[in-house]
Amino acid sequence: MPNATVIAGIEIPSTSPVFLGVVGFHVLVGLACVVTGAGAMLSRKAPGRHPNFGAAYYWGLVAVFASASALAVVRWQEDYHLFLLGMGSFSAGFIGRSARRQRWQGWARWHITGMGLSYILLLTAFYVDNGKSLPLWRDLPTIAFWLLPAAVGVPLLLHALLRHPLARSPGVKPRPAAPAARRIKSIAGKSPK
């Protein structure tokens, strides 16, 4: 390809400094998403690290989707499928984040599913676009770039849904404790009013 730039063995189909600048930005925020997404998944689900990593992942995902959209518009025939994967990843992440922030009914299940699918689709887009240039991956059939991230990610996602106590029993709310006086009467054998 005469109008291409090769960086680290990956062919970029342009020599335009603007296009290459957008690609460079896209790669940096994409890498940040991979790291912060993994950080959110692997950290304790409590205030602190998990929500901080999660917020960084989400805003990185916004930047990845914006830059991917710009790159896809320039090369629509070749990259429309990457735009669709990016839109799916961003949409899933938006749903996952909204479920948590707005406390939808069964929010934990929505949050885990949305954020997990977002990460799977992010990795799928990366491998579909770059798999042919990566060691080991270049020896795989093209369909593997589309299926392997889900083949690994979906079982992990299902495991998380089955393991998280709020995702296992959506909509079940703990019964409120009776006032102390009612509990004492109940224990003493008198029926509470």
Q: What is the pLDDT of residue 92?
A: 98
SS (H, E, C) the chain: CCCCEEECCEEECCCCHHHHHHHHHHHHHHHHHHHHHHHHHHCCCCCCHHHHHHHHHHHHHHHHHHHHHHHHHHCHHHHHHHHHHHHHHHHHHHHHHHHHHHCCCCHHHHHHHHHHHHHHHHHHHHHHHHHHHCCCHHHCCHHHHHHHHHHHHHHHHHHHHHHCHHHHCCCCCCCCCCCHHHHHHHHCCCCCC
State the chain's mean pLDDT as an integer: 86
- Measured CA to CA, the distance from residue 35 to residue 21 in angstroms comes to 21
pLDDT band at 150 (very low <50, low <70, confident <90, very high): very high
Q: Is the pLDDT of residue 183 over 70?
A: no
Pick the closest to residue 113 from 45, 43, 41, 177 (CA basis). Answer: 41
| Better-predicted residue by pLDDT, 192 or 118 | 118
pTM over 0.85: no
pLDDT at 128 over 90: yes
